[in-house]
Structure 1
């Protein structure tokens, strides 16, 4: 019998339940939705989670579509799923946990006696550390972004190659291979010996069907490649960026972006112009380095210094 919170499943069974992470302000229990899919045959364990940032919903859409397709009688090993991590932020469609104004993906491995976010991180990390592989499903918040996977352990980490392989198998086509901030699940779990990636499935308000489809395909690629399910995976070459440059507005006004997402840009190429309301160009911003046009803000209006776009740099193929 395999359990996660109140979910429990014998070999060949599936169950859903709740993982307690404390109480809400009215004293009722706060429980994360969880699922256990226990394959009929022995094998490894895969852990998946979504919405550690409460407004990043594409990962929830992926799990909503993947889980009903999983037949435990046809699977080997175990799949542990936390469908919504940032419980409080999800309820109000915000990025950070409103109880303590904290970003969950900066709190791992967590603290079971700490703040609301630290307790959620500790509970989900307790589930994640039982796994052999981890998929932490994200998106580029509500900005616009390409579909990509992030390898966050750093190139000198002993699990770097295994994490990079997992990203290639997931197969978004783009990989950001750059050491991440402390407190990320994709930083903390490799230190426990578990290959982990952070698929960033586009960026939108609500969810985007194209990015969700890419995520569903990525999950099934992982299931087939690592022996959870039958099937073969052809791993295509990925475009990898090892650097990430962000650009802010040098003046206030309206932004006119020049490249398309995913387009290669050259050093000195125009990335965007800032205009006044009548189209007069106030400032032009060019790329400091060659790379891939990776991410942009969604709204055109900006104040001085406000984020506009990002370019993935130090690009190669692997």
Structure 2
């Protein structure tokens, strides 16, 4: 019936010191020998990317509302998985290899304790020594990376009944039925038979209180669903009219220049509708970008200056293919 604070010892730095990950463990009162609790164990994971801070705030707020003395089961909060990236508020794990490279820690799961880079070894330590021996379901909190904005959005493999149940408990703006991507934490858990989904809470580098509050509400719904805590359900996807889709159209820049967006988050678009204009350094119009599908805007660029190939807009839609 207590909440415990730990630092999980992760991978070593080049100097031989270790990266330590903050971990909170709230344990219910009904415990059994050799197990965290007789009830389920749910993991709340945030900070896989270092500039995605709203997830950390959301998890802290969930944990602050828990009363271990009234819980059945265990909640493990992992706050800041990618410690060096978090210290520099950047998306990628900064490695000293090859003169300095960035490693996407959400492409290395389940990790490997003998991998050829520190980020994958760090993931392997967490996977084998914290996650897999303990957890029965996982919520992985993210935001979009610096320079763009996201709706309150879930990636969830809705083919999995347990994942669908969790996803539908979140009062979010968008849910993408997503089969997963190799190397992501969510997909690694699902492949291991552990239900998991990814919660995207808007923009990076700053808190978005309204989105965070809804993410907390959905998270508490999941804990109630699993019987860890008591109380009435909060709002769900059905209550707020969540838009579902199974595909994202990504509109990318074909030239360099300055963007003038013609759409905002949650705007409905139709094929052929302009979504952005682009001008060069002299102010000449160099490109006009249009939607090719009917759907709802889920992602927009926040950076006005745009290089060729950069993401401008993403549209959630229902593909018939």
Using structure 2 for the length normalisation, give the TM-score: 0.87
- Say which of 278, 281, 285 aligns to 1:281: 285
Cα distance, 1:109 vs structure 2? 0.9
Q: Deviation per CA, 1:177-210, whole angstroms, max 9, x where unpaired?
A: 1223211111111122111000011113332222
The alignment covers a number of residue pairs equal to 300
Distance 1:72 1:148 in 2: 29
Listed one character per residue, the Cα deviations across residues 77-122 of structure 1 (whole Å, up to 9, x for unaligned) are: 0111111100111111111111252111111111112221112211
Q: Tell me what 2:57 maps to.
A: 61
Closer/same/farther in 2, CA of residues 68 and 236 from structure 1, 3 Å limit: closer
Please report the RMSD computed on the Cα atoms of aligned residues, expressed in angstroms.
1.9
Greater shift after overlay, 32-41 or 274-283? 274-283
**1:174 corresponds to which residue?**
174
User: Structure 1 length as normaliser, TM-score?
Assistant: 0.88
Q: How does 1:154-233 map to 2 (within 5 A)?
A: 155=159, 160-233=160-233
Q: In structure 1, the residue corresponding to 2:244 is in which secondary structure?
A: strand
* CA drift at 1:62: 1.0
Question: Structure 2: how far apart are the matches of 1:173 and 1:146?
Answer: 6
Aligned counterparts, 1:81-120, within 5 A:
81-99=77-95, 101-114=102-115, 115-120=117-122
Q: Which residue of 1 aligns with 2:7?
A: 18
Structure 2 unaligned blocks of 5 or more: 31-37
Of 121, 124, 128, which aligns to 1:122? Answer: 124
CA-CA distance at 1:49 after TM superposition:
0.8
Gaps of 5+ in 1: 1-11
**Residues 196-245 of structure 1, C-alpha deviations (whole Å, 9 max, x = no match):** 00001111333222222222222212112221111222533231110011
Matched, 1:30 2:33: no
